[in-house]
Structure 1
Amino acid sequence: MTRIIADISVSLDGFVTGPDPGPDNGLGTGGEALHTWAFSDDPDDRRALHEGTARSGAVVLGRRLFDVVDGPNGWDDTTGYGAREVAKPAFVVVTGSPPRSVRLTGLDWTFVTSGLHDAVAAARERAEAASAAAGNDLDVILMGGGATVGSALDAGLVDVLSLHLAPVVLGSGTPLFNGAVPRTLVQRTVTRTSTVTHLTYDVL
């Protein structure tokens, strides 16, 4: 069965970027520390990255994050979705209007202008099709940014929350949780490595 999984790195004080993020500074000041684990050689970090990438049937992201990854300093042939694994699932972007052009033309992009619910529904269709082709269950991954993941949690669209808790305090930046809607979580897994703590919760 295809699940909707929010998968994102976060600081100890709840930020998914550092201060002043933008197209040329996607993770904000100091935000690179959030993703140290994705380039780590720790076997547990590599396993978490590989498993998360391998289960991705489709990926949802917001327009601001799209502008970062598709920008001139964004993804390339060596670093992309899945960091060094550079996987190529279908990507669904929630946006007010499609971009005039796309740099990463080798990736499968769908731009949804009718809201987050429709974007998740479109991604589910793509993931289910990918699951049928692969012969095993694949999921929809909400990769961010923080506002997209937070809105999906508030809307009750998320089945699983996968956090990569980095040992850094950023002080400010893009918050993951704005406290709009309380959610009950059931902890399923905890994996501690030299760079991060990987946490998985079912969202009730």
Structure 2
Amino acid sequence: MTRIIADISISLDGFVTGPDPGPDNGLGTGGEALHDWAFSDAPGDRRYLAEATARSGAVILGRRLFDVVDGPRGWDDTRGYGAGEVGKPPFFVVTGSAPESVRLADLDWTFVTTGLPDAVAAARERAEAASARSGNDLDVVLMGGGATIASALDAGLVDALTLHLAPVVLGAGTPLFTGAVPRGFVQRSVTSTSTATHLTYDVL
């Protein structure tokens, strides 16, 4: 069964970027430490990344995050979603309008201008089709940014939440939970490595 999974790295004090994030500084000042686990050579981190990306049948991101990953300092052949781990899933961008051009033209981009629920529905359809072809259950992953994931949680669109808790205090930045709708979770798994604690919750 295809699930909608929100997946994001977060600091001990609840931030998903450091201070002053922007197109040329996507993770903000000091925010790179949030993703040390994704670039770690530790077997536990490599295994977790490989297993998670292998289950990705489609990926959703907001426009601000798209502008970062498609920008000149964004993704390349060695840095990107599951780089070096799996085939490239289709990407769905929630945006007010499609960009005039795309640098990463070799990726499968769909720009959804009618809202997050429509993006989730379209991504689910693609993930379910990929599941049928492969014979494996593949998920839709909301990779961020923080506002997109928070909105999806508040709207009840998320089945599971995965947090990669980095051992860093940023002091400021982009918080994940600000004025959030109260919601319960059921803890399903905890995996500790030298660079992060990977937590997965079912959303009630």
TM, length-normalised to structure 2: 0.98
Quick one: percent identity of the two aligned structures?
A: 83
8 Å Cα contact 1:80-1:87 kept in structure 2: no
Is 1:118 aligned with 2:128?
Answer: no
Shift of 1:141: 0.1
Shift of 1:179: 3.1
Cα displacement string for residues 78-132 of structure 1 (whole angstroms, at most 9, x for unaligned residues) = 1111244364100000000000000001000000001100011110011011111
Distance 1:36 1:87 in 2: 22
Counterpart residue type for residue 24 of structure 1: D
Q: Which residue of the partner structure matches residue 130 of structure 2?
A: 130
In structure 2, relative to structure 1, the CA distance for the partners of 1:169 and 1:87 (3 Å cut) is farther
Root mean square deviation, CA, Å: 1.0
Structure 2 alignment gaps of length 5 or more:
none
Cα displacement string for residues 8-47 of structure 1 (whole angstroms, at most 9, x for unaligned residues) = 0000011100000011000000000000000111111111
Shift of 1:180: 2.4
Shift of 1:168: 0.5
Count residues with an aligned counterpart: 204
Counterpart residue type for residue 125 of structure 2: E
8 Å Cα contact 2:54-2:86 kept in structure 1: no
Counterpart residue type for residue 151 of structure 2: S
- List 4+ stretches of structure 1 deviating above 6 A: none
Q: After superposition, where does 1:7-86 map in structure 2 within 5 Å?
A: 7-85=7-85
8 Å Cα contact 1:77-1:86 kept in structure 2: no
Distance 2:87 2:21 in 1: 25
Distance 1:111 1:24 in 2: 22
Counterpart residue type for residue 9 of structure 1: S
Distance 1:82 1:19 in 2: 26
Distance 1:162 1:58 in 2: 16
Q: After superposition, where does 1:145-184 map in structure 2 within 5 Å?
A: 145-184=145-184
Counterpart residue type for residue 131 of structure 1: S
8 Å Cα contact 2:165-2:197 kept in structure 1: yes
SS in 2 for 1:142: strand
Structure 1 alignment gaps of length 5 or more:
none
8 Å Cα contact 1:70-1:104 kept in structure 2: yes
Distance 2:184 2:42 in 1: 31
Tell which deviates more after alignment, 79-88 or 177-186. Answer: 79-88
SS in 1 for 2:25: coil
